[in-house]
């Protein structure tokens, strides 16, 4: 990609795999996240940053930027009320336990206000949750972005 002229690539990590409504519906007895899947995500994301750090070092430039979307989503999964959600366990649209089974169809349960839900369907964040993720991509510190956020990148790139 670099040889083709690409100079910035935003790479997102994985989200909280074990806490999505689909996993709660299939694996959880009491609404707890799947420890195995959470561990997999927590191993993957730091390794992604290491890989991108190594690639950037080889290229001598911060071409690859890592977005720790897992951290953002973990924030609102662990404390949904702090972000204006009533729940991070139940999907807005779906079937079965936690609305975590099947696709969002006309036969699905549909929440009355999607802004109160962190997840739209069994896997995907709602529009409001995605806005929180994007806000951290734009302005988040190194907890959320490495080596810099998108606003910093845009400011740097506007000078060249």
Categorize the per-residue pLDDT at 1 as very low, low, confident or very high, splitting at 50, 70 and 90. confident
pLDDT attached to residue 69: 87
Per-residue pLDDT of 2-61, as tens digits, reads 889 999 999 999 988 999 999 999 999 899 999 999 999 889 989 999 999 999 999 999
- Class at the top of the CATH hierarchy for domain 2-158: alpha beta
As a whole number, the mean pLDDT across the chain is 94
Categorize the per-residue pLDDT at 72 as very low, low, confident or very high, splitting at 50, 70 and 90. confident
Residue 9 bridge partners (DSSP): 64
Q: Is the pTM of this model over 0.85?
A: yes
- 26 by Cβ neighbours in 10 Å (0-12 / 13-18 / 19+) ranks as middle
Nearest to 100 by CA among 122, 128, 71: 122
pLDDT attached to residue 96: 96
pLDDT attached to residue 2: 87
Cβ-proximal residues to 77 (8 Å cutoff; 6+ apart), any chain: 16, 19, 33, 88, 118
Taking a C-beta distance cutoff of 8 angstroms, is the pair 65, 49 a contact? no
Per-residue pLDDT of 89-133, as tens digits, reads 999 999 999 999 999 999 999 999 999 999 999 999 999 999 999
pLDDT attached to residue 87: 96
Between CA 62 and CA 49 the distance in angstroms is 12
Nearest to 123 by CA among 144, 96, 102, 151: 102
Note if the bond before 40 is cis, omega within 30 degrees: no
pLDDT at 70 over 90: no
């Amino acid at each position: 990609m670099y040889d083709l002229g690409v100079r910035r690539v935003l790479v997102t990590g994985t989200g909280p795999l074990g806490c999505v409504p689909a996993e709660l519906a299939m694996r959880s007895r009491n609404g707890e996240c799947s420890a195995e899947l959470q561990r997999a995500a927590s191993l993957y994301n730091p390794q992604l940053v290491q890989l991108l750090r190594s690639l950037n070092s080889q290229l001598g430039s911060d071409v690859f930027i890592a977005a720790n979307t897992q951290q953002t989503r973990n924030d609102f999964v662990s404390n949904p009320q702090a972000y204006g959600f009533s729940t991070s366990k139940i999907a807005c649209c779906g079937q079965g336990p936690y609305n975590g089974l099947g696709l969002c169809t006309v036969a699905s349960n549909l929440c009355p206000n999607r802004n109160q839900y962190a997840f739209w369907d069994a896997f995907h964040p709602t529009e409001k949750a995605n806005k929180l993720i994007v806000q951290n991509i734009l302005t988040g510190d190194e907890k959320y972005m490495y080596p810099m956020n998108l606003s910093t990148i845009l400011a740097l790139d506007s000078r060249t």
